[in-house]
């Protein structure tokens, strides 16, 4: 379990994350929501152990992240970046293999791990393509496969954590659902925990169990996705929302526009 | 694809090495060169002297410096995550040359022991690299334009520093300095090799061991951390090894430009970006290129010889322009 308490992060004199509490639980997907500049990516960076908070703590298994070394932490959590600038013409398969390059599993397991990760991200047909020749969405899916390979290679008894920063930003609708369904399958099968920064409330309502709504660095709402109400959304985003419940009992949010 | 390429590189290396030993203002028949390792006494005393005390140390130095510069270029490009990084371009060689110049002029005769020059060059290389790395960063990311601008400034500063040392130096020091600024294998002898060669071998071995980490680092500093790499440690290790090797290379041969830029680029185009292949292939190709260029430099204007650094820049600079335009 990842437990964040009273996190505050200041970047360049601006408070970007302000006294945020968050908890990622095994078997659940948490959507991190909020307007542009609300501090979603910074919060994800804190949960990943990338930034040190000015105050507050993030702990994994009850141990503060600052006391984990990079290598052990990488066995337990993977991050899918918003956009990663690859400097050289590596092939898709080489990038996926980088997921476990520093802690390689036994040679006979590698091909299966790579194949499964590429299948989940639907990039099997791109394996030998060079990264710079891919579209933005294909690259994003490659980094998703890399993260899956990282966690599959290091799978242990304790639940792992997958952090995704706007993973659907440059994906077509089919692949948006494909990727999030793959995250859900991973969470269910491996008992892992996931946090996803999302803008699309429909996708969040469809795939997330919990939500954390940020507004200018502060928590505006926290809890089960079902408990999110339209009024808070209006306050945070400044436009009207309708909250609907479909025939399966799922909530839907529709922006009314200006 | 990859195995035949290595066979090809090894064959080319052997051929270049043979040519470098046989050709020159006093040609030695190829048959004698080939015989020499097995029965040196069959050669004439003059040929043996030339081979053992002039051409062989020069060949070894050329191989080591060429391989070192190519490896340093590949590693720096990995760390800066930019194919334009090169020990000459971003000021590492300039800093090393300035360190060497300072040692020649200020160190005096008693201080310029066999290890003093490589160490001074190393110190200069480290200072220049850290300055470029520090100045080239914006918001925690290496920004290529700032990095190149910082490299230009550091190079200019190093050039000015070398100018100052040439101005205050006496005639003997001036002659030594001129040798450094042009880059040449002409001073190669077993005594110049003794301190430099081990340092270069250590640096190259270390860099080759970092291959997997350089792959991971190519994804970005943050991504490298996510995958379990300590990015700061990685930068320190790579920059340290690069400076050690380039410092030693510059101390022995002066700053030879463009090998570190051109060779890794060509290898990446033909064999892919993975550092486990890139680093050894670049070392082989760098060694071939420098020894080949040096042999050409000895032949073009024989019995006089062109500084090989000059020749490398003559070929490398247009290639660099092509790289920029692409």
Q: ipTM of the assembly? A: 0.92
> In this complex, which of A72, A87, A90 lies closest to B82 when CB atoms are compared?
A87
Nearest chain B alpha carbon to A47? B226
| B161 within some domain | yes
List phi, psi (to 5°) of A70.
Answer: -55, -40
Listed in sequence order, the residues at least 6 apart from A116 whose beta carbon sits closer than 8 Å to its beta carbon are A148, A152
Residue A80: the pLDDT is 94
pLDDT (tens digit per residue) in A21-38: 999 999 999 999 999 989
Interface test with A, best of B138, B219, B235, B266 (most A CBs within 10 A): B219
Instruction: Flag whether B178 is in a domain.
Output: yes
Is beta strand A161-165 parallel, antiparallel or unpaired with respect to A193-197? parallel
Instruction: Decide: A8 and A22 in contact? Cβ < 8 Å.
Output: no
Spell out the long-range contacts of B59-62 with Cβ–Cβ below 8 A and sequence spacing 24 or more.
B59/B17, B59/B20, B59/B21, B59/B291, B60/B188, B60/B193, B60/B197, B61/B185, B61/B188, B61/B192, B61/B193, B61/B196, B61/B197, B61/B252, B61/B253, B62/B20, B62/B185, B62/B188, B62/B287, B62/B290, B62/B291, B62/B294, B62/B308
What pLDDT, on the 0 to 100 scale, is given for residue B160? 92
Residue B18 within any structural domain of the chain = no
Selection from B307, B250, B308, B257 nearest residue B103 by Cα: B250
Q: Is residue B91 part of a domain?
A: yes
Cβ-based neighbours of A1, under 8 Å, separated by 6 or more: A23, A24, A25, A26, A60, A61, A159, A193
User: Distance, in angstroms, between B231 CA and closest chain A CA?
Assistant: 9
Specify the range with the lowest mean pLDDT, choosing from A8-12, A49-53, A159-163, B50-54: B50-54
- Residue range of the domain that includes B308: 55-325
pLDDT band per the 50, 70, 90 thresholds, residue B143: low
Query: Could you tell me the pLDDT band of residue A82, with boundaries at 50, 70 and 90?
Result: confident
Question: How big is chain B by its Cα radius of gyration, in Å?
Answer: 20
Among candidates B78, B213, B227 on the partner chain, residue whose Cβ is nearest the Cβ of A74: B227
The rounded mean pLDDT for chain B is 85
Reported as a single tens digit per residue, the pLDDT across B82-96 is: 887 787 777 888 888
The residue ranking higher by pLDDT, B317 or A105, is A105
**What's the token pair of residue B176?**
């030594």
Q: What is the pLDDT of residue B132?
A: 81
Q: What is the pLDDT of residues B175-200, one digit of tens each?
A: 777 767 777 887 777 877 888 899 99
Instruction: Give B188→chain A minimum CA distance, Å.
Output: 36
What mean pLDDT do residues A79-95 have? 88
Nearest residue to A244 (alpha-carbon basis) of A229, A224, A222, A223: A229
Q: Do B222 and A95 touch (CB under 8 A)?
A: no
Nearest Cα of chain A lies from the Cα of B318 at a distance, in angstroms, of 22
Chain A residue at shortest CA distance from B219: A86
The full 3-state SS of chain B, as one line of letters, equals: CHHHHHHHHHHHHHHHHHHHHHCCCCCCCHHHHHHCCCCHHHCCHHHHHHHHHHHHHHHHHHHHHHHHHHHHHHHHHHHHCCCCCCCCCCCHHHHHHHHHHHHHHHHHHHHCCCCHHHHHHHHHHHHHHHHHHHHCEECCEECHHHHHHHHHHHHHHHHHHHHHHHHHCCHHHHHHHHHHHHCCCCCCCHHHHHHHHHHHHHHHHHHHHCHHHHHHHCCCHHHHHHCCCCHHHHHHHHHHHHHHHHHHHHHHHCCCCCHHHHHHHHHHHHHCCCHHHHHHHHHHHHHHHHHHHHHHHHHHCCCCCCCHHHHHHHHHHHHHHHHHHC
Residue B19 lies in a domain: no
Q: Please compute the mean of the pLDDT values over residues B274-283 and round it to a whole number.
A: 95
Q: How confident is the model at residue B45 (pLDDT cuts 50, 70, 90)?
A: confident
Output B204 or B181, whichever has higher pLDDT.
B204
Question: Lowest-confidence range among B85-94, B111-120, B193-202, B237-246?
Answer: B111-120
Asked whether residue B14 is assigned to any structural domain, the reply reads no
From CA A220, how far away is CA A217, in angstroms rounded? 9
Query: What's the CATH code of the domain at B248?
Result: 1.10.3470.10
pLDDT single digits (tens) B128-137: 888 887 887 7
Interface of B with A (CB under 8 A): 77-78, 81-83, 212-213, 215-216, 218-220, 222-223, 225-230, 268, 272-274
Residues of A in contact with B218 (CB under 8 A): 86-88, 90
- The upper half-sphere exposure of residue A29, i.e. CA atoms within 13 Å in the direction of its Cβ, equals 26
pLDDT of residue B142: 60
More confident residue, B294 or B118: B294
Judge contact between B212 and B218, C-beta under 8 A: no
The answer to whether position B236 is within a domain reads yes
Is 80 exceeded by the pLDDT of residue A178?
yes
Domains in chain A, ordered, with CATH? 2-257 (3.40.50.300)
* pLDDT value, residue B111: 58
Whether B112 has a pLDDT exceeding 60, the answer reads no
Q: Say if B10 falls within a structural domain.
A: no
B13-27, B67-81, B231-245: range with highest mean pLDDT: B67-81
Number of structural domains (chain B) is: 1
Q: Tell me the pLDDT tens digit for each residue of B312-325.
A: 888 888 877 887 77
Residue contact A70–B272, C-beta within 8 A: no
Residue B139 has pLDDT above 70, yes or no: no
Is A101 within 8 Å of B212 when comparing Cβ atoms? yes
Q: Over chain A, what is the mean pLDDT?
A: 91
């Amino acid at each position: 379990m990842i437990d964040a308490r009273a996190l505050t992060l200041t970047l360049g004199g601006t408070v970007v994350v302000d006294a945020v509490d968050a908890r990622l639980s095994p078997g659940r997907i948490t959507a991190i929501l909020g307007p542009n500049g609300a501090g979603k990516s910074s919060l994800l960076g804190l949960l990943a152990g990338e930034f040190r908070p000015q105050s507050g703590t993030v702990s994994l298994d009850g141990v503060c992240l600052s006391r984990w070394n990079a290598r052990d932490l990488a066995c337990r959590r993977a991050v899918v970046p918003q956009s990663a600038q690859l400097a050289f013409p590596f092939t898709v398969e080489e990038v996926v293999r980088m997921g476990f390059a520093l802690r390689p599993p036994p040679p006979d397991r590698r091909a299966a791990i790579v194949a499964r990760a590429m299948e989940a991200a639907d990039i099997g047909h791109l394996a030998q393509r060079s990264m710079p020749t891919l579209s933005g969405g294909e690259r994003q899916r490659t980094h998703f496969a890399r993260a899956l390979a990282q966690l599959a290679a290091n799978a242990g008894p304790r639940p792992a954590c997958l952090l995704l920063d706007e993973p659907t930003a440059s994906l077509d609708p089919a692949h948006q659902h494909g990727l999030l369904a793959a995250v859900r399958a991973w969470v269910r099968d491996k008992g892992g925990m996931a946090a996803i920064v999302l803008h699309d409330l429909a996708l969040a309502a469809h795939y997330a169990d919990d939500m954390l709504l940020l507004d200018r660095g502060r928590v505006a709402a926290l809890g089960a996705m079902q408990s999110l109400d339209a009024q808070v959304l209006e306050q945070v985003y400044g436009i009207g929302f309708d909250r609907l419940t479909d025939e399966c009992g799922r909530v839907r949010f529709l922006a009314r526009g200006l | 694809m990859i195995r035949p390429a290595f066979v090809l590189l090894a064959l080319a290396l052997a051929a270049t090495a043979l040519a470098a030993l046989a050709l020159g203002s006093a040609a030695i028949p190829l048959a004698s060169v080939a015989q020499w390792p097995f029965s040196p006494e069959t050669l004439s005393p003059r040929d043996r002297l030339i081979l053992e005390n002039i051409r062989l140390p020069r060949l070894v130095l050329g191989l080591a410096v060429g391989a070192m510069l190519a490896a340093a270029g590949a590693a720096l490009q990995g760390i800066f995550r930019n194919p334009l990084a090169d020990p000459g371009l971003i000021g590492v060689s300039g800093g090393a040359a300035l360190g060497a110049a300072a040692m020649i002029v200020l160190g005096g005769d008693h201080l310029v022991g066999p290890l003093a020059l490589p160490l001074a060059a190393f110190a200069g290389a480290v200072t220049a690299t850290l300055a470029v790395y520090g100045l080239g960063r914006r918001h925690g990311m290496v920004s290529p334009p700032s990095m190149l601008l910082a490299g230009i400034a550091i190079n200019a500063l190093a050039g000015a520093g070398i100018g100052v040392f040439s101005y205050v130096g006496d005639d003997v020091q001036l002659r030594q300095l001129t040798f450094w600024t042009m880059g040449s294998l002409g001073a190669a002898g077993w005594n110049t090799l003794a301190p430099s060669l081990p340092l270069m071998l250590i640096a190259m071995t270390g860099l080759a061991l970092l291959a997997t980490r350089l792959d991971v680092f190519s994804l970005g500093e943050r991504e490298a951390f996510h995958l379990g790499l300590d990015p700061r440690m990685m930068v320190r290790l790579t920059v340290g090894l690069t400076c050690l090797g380039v410092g030693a290379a510059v101390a022995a041969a002066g700053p030879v430009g463009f090998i570190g830029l051109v060779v890794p680029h060509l290898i990446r185009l033909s064999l892919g970006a993975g550092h486990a292949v890139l680093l050894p292939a670049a070392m082989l190709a760098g060694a071939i290129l420098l020894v080949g260029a040096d042999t050409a430099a000895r032949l073009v204007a024989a019995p006089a010889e062109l500084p090989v650094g000059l020749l490398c820049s003559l070929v490398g600079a247009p290639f660099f322009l092509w790289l920029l335009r692409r």
